[in-house]
Amino acid sequence: MKQVLDSIQVSKTLKRLTHEIIERHDDLNGIVLFGIRSKGLPIAKIVKKNLEVFTGIDVPLYELDIRGYRDDDKKVPQKPVKVDIKDKNVILIDDVLYTGRSVRAALDAVVDMARPSKIEFLVLVDRGHRELPIRADYVGKNMPTSHDEVLIFDTDELAMYIKNK
């Protein structure tokens, strides 16, 4: 495995993405963050902390379990988190954007809760190879990869690695 982002690079990237959120939103009180289980949640926690440090506003954060919404996994659907997101700006957060299937499942899970005013997507790394017409609103790094490679976000080290399948 080869490291492609160390913890310092991840930290700097997430600070930049946090500043982008602040620049695009006049009222941070209308934002709700959802970290996509499981690798998106640690990233979302850092974004939440950054928002609080930079603005003094405590933005709500929830874990979003998408297992029951995936089209490639036939598990019993999960009950959606009971969160008031009506007329809120939802920001979905994940580690890697690849085919787009995870974020499609996340969109379904959010819409099952209520109709937010807006849904945005923040991702640490976009590796390309989309199977669905999905794009991220906030992208940390673009890292084109081959289909034979896998990006792995280490939540303990807060580092990104690449390896061959």
pLDDT digits (tens, 9 = 90+) for 70-83: 777 666 556 666 88
pLDDT digits (tens, 9 = 90+) for 98-144: 999 999 999 999 999 999 999 999 999 999 999 999 999 999 999 99
CA-to-CA distance for 64 and 113, rounded, in angstroms? 11
Residue pair 80/114 in contact (Cβ under 8 Å)? The answer is: no
- Cβ-Cβ contacts under 8 Å for 147 (sequence gap 6 or more): 129
Look at residue 44 and tell me whether its pLDDT is greater than 80: yes
AA letter at 154: D
Domain boundaries, the chain: 2-164
Strand partners, 90: 32, 119
AA letter at 15: K
CATH number of the structural domain 2-164: 3.40.50.2020
- Nearest 5°: phi and psi at 106? -65, -40
